[in-house]
Amino acid sequence: MTDVADRRTVDRRILSLAVPALGSLAVEPVYVLVDTAIVGQLGTEELAGLAVAAAVLALVFAGANFLTYGTTERVARRLGAGQTASAANVGVQALWLAGLAGVPIAIAIGVFARPLVALFGTSDAALGHADTYLSWSAIGIPFFLVTLAAQGTFRGESDYMTPLWVLLAANVANLVIELVFVFVLDMGVAGSALSTVIAQIGASIAFLVLLRRRLAAATVRRPNRAEIAPLMTAGKHLLLRVFAMLAVFTGAAAVAARIDDETLAAHQIVNSMFIFLALVLDAFAVPAHTLVAEEQGRDDTVAARFVATRSVWMSVVVSVGLGALIVATSRWLPHVFSDDPDVLHRATIGLLWLAVLIVPGAIAFAHDGILIGAGDYRFLGLAAVGYLVAVVPIAVLTLATPELGIGGIWAGLLVWMILRAVVNDRRTRHVLR
């Protein structure tokens, strides 16, 4: 698989998966964006309450992403090996795990909603709204986890379009229902949360109906410890990875906050742009979950290595274009978010650092996708902790030398990203040798 025709074939397949993957990645956060826009019309205290509750839910959903990643890799690997029944078994067990994990998590969050949101130290008025939103939202957690597991099965079968359409429909339903609940029935924050829950339940039902035919070949239909255990192991390591990465960005925001308000505001602008760019680049990493696992299922390491090489190359090309765009717009882009001259100046500096960071970032993201496709979860978890430890001295230096400002913060993040790119690249070479 090294000639021009094979290269074009692989590139086309990556792109055919990357486009709907980008759509799905972009649609998933829309629930919160819609809630934010509508609740923001109710008042500042309601919006502050939503922000706190959303932060708790974001941790839960980020930690549960292993249901998608682990299921994608295992289904694709088995289909690549021609094991249709075994692949269907993985899908069934992923759905069971989503329910078995989702129900107790939902109960715990529902019962302890108020103490959880109180940890954020918000005002009493906002605390009440946060409690209300989180208590109602807890109902939807098991259903949302089912949608994550279902997406993993579809992606494992190289079907990225079906999840996109289901998620789009769910978001449209959420918008319509929420407008009625909040503004017509005057249900306030509770109506916002309940509309999202209804949309999540609808999405989970749609996924289950669409999966019936695909999972018909399953030979193990009840919860099976041996089948569920690999997903739980993957979840443990991927959860460690998620929290280590969250710690890096939470730490960066904390450092910015301790410098001054202008630096924190500028950092938020740059970080928001980073999240957007990472979303675009992740669309090229996600197909590697499926394609690398497929080739390894066929026991074709050469083909898996070729897919990995093309994934990295395409990510880098896109990142160079994105970086150039950030440089070209770095002076006026901050004006969209602020009119404070100090914030604008700092944000421009941060964006220039971001333009550099996004290239090694593309390499790191692509290799994350490759290693997830290869099932190398333990490395990803432990490496994430190692990267976190490595950047702590830079954070300390920036705190001790405030004049480094936002440049010091994003220079530290650049080092972190380069480290991830280099180490992940070496790991991929080792795993796919």
Q: Are residues 387 and 245 in the same domain?
A: yes
Last residue of a domain, one of 192, 223, 254: 223
Phi-psi sector, 299: left (phi>0), alpha (psi -120 to 50), beta: left
Cα–Cα distances in angstroms (integers) from residue 12 to residues 159, 307, 346, in the given order:
15, 11, 40
Residue 9 lies in a domain: no
Residue 8 lies in a domain: no
Cβ neighbour number for residue 52 with a 10 Å cutoff? 22
> Measuring CA to CA, which residue among 178, 159, 111 is closest to residue 139?
111
Q: Are residues 214 and 256 in the same domain?
A: no
Q: Are residues 125 and 186 in the same domain?
A: yes
Q: Are residues 210 and 274 in the same domain?
A: no
C-alpha to C-alpha distance for 68 and 148, rounded to whole angstroms: 5
Structure tokens at 285: 């990493």
Helix or strand or coil: residue 332?
coil
Measured in degrees and rounded to the nearest 5, phi and psi for residue 69 equal -65, -50
Q: Are residues 199 and 239 in the same domain?
A: no
Residue 346 lies in a domain: yes
Residue 406 lies in a domain: yes
Q: Are residues 107 and 249 in the same domain?
A: no
Residue 145 lies in a domain: yes
Q: Are residues 109 and 174 in the same domain?
A: yes
C-alpha to C-alpha distance for 144 and 67, rounded to whole angstroms: 11
Q: What are the pLDDT digits (tens) for 140-187?
A: 999 999 999 999 999 999 999 999 999 999 989 999 999 999 999 989
Q: Are residues 316 and 347 in the same domain?
A: yes
Q: Are residues 218 and 238 in the same domain?
A: no
Which domain range does residue 149 map to? 19-223
Q: Are residues 241 and 214 in the same domain?
A: no
Last residue of a domain, one of 195, 223, 251: 223
Residue 11 lies in a domain: no
Rounded to 10 degrees, the C-alpha dihedral 307/248/66/118 comes to -160
CB-side exposure of 367: number of CA atoms within 13 Å? Answer: 26
Per-residue pLDDT of the chain (433 residues; tens, 9 = 90+): 446 557 788 888 898 998 898 888 877 777 776 777 788 788 878 877 777 788 788 888 888 888 999 999 999 999 999 999 999 999 999 999 999 999 999 999 999 999 988 887 767 788 888 899 999 999 999 999 999 999 999 999 999 999 999 999 998 999 999 999 999 998 989 999 999 999 999 999 999 999 999 899 989 889 988 889 988 998 899 989 988 998 888 888 888 878 887 888 888 788 878 888 888 899 999 999 999 999 999 999 999 999 999 999 999 999 999 999 999 999 998 887 778 888 889 999 999 999 999 999 999 999 999 999 999 999 999 999 999 999 889 888 888 887 888 999 999 999 999 999 999 999 999 999 8
H helices within 374-404, ranges in order?
Answer: 377-400
- Exposure of 327 by Cβ count < 10 A (0-12 exposed, 13-18 middle, 19+ buried)? middle
C-alpha to C-alpha distance for 177 and 312, rounded to whole angstroms: 41
Structure tokens at 261: 């308000």
Q: What are the pLDDT digits (tens) for 337-384?
A: 778 888 889 999 999 999 999 999 999 999 999 999 999 999 999 999
Residue 130 lies in a domain: yes
- Dihedral sign for Cα 211, 215, 216, 220, please: negative
419's CB contacts (< 8 A; 6+ apart) are 387, 390, 391
135's CB contacts (< 8 A; 6+ apart) are 110, 113, 193
Q: Are residues 148 and 176 in the same domain?
A: yes
* Model pTM above 0.75: yes
The confidence score (pLDDT) of residue 155 equals 94
Instruction: Give percent helix, percent strand, percent coil of the chain, each to the nearest 5.
Output: 90, 0, 10
C-alpha to C-alpha distance for 300 and 423, rounded to whole angstroms: 24
Q: Are residues 197 and 277 in the same domain?
A: no
C-alpha to C-alpha distance for 132 and 53, rounded to whole angstroms: 9
- Count of domains in the chain? 2
Last residue of a domain, one of 162, 194, 223: 223
Residue 401 lies in a domain: yes
> Quick check: 27 and 167 in contact, CB under 8 A?
yes
The confidence score (pLDDT) of residue 122 equals 67
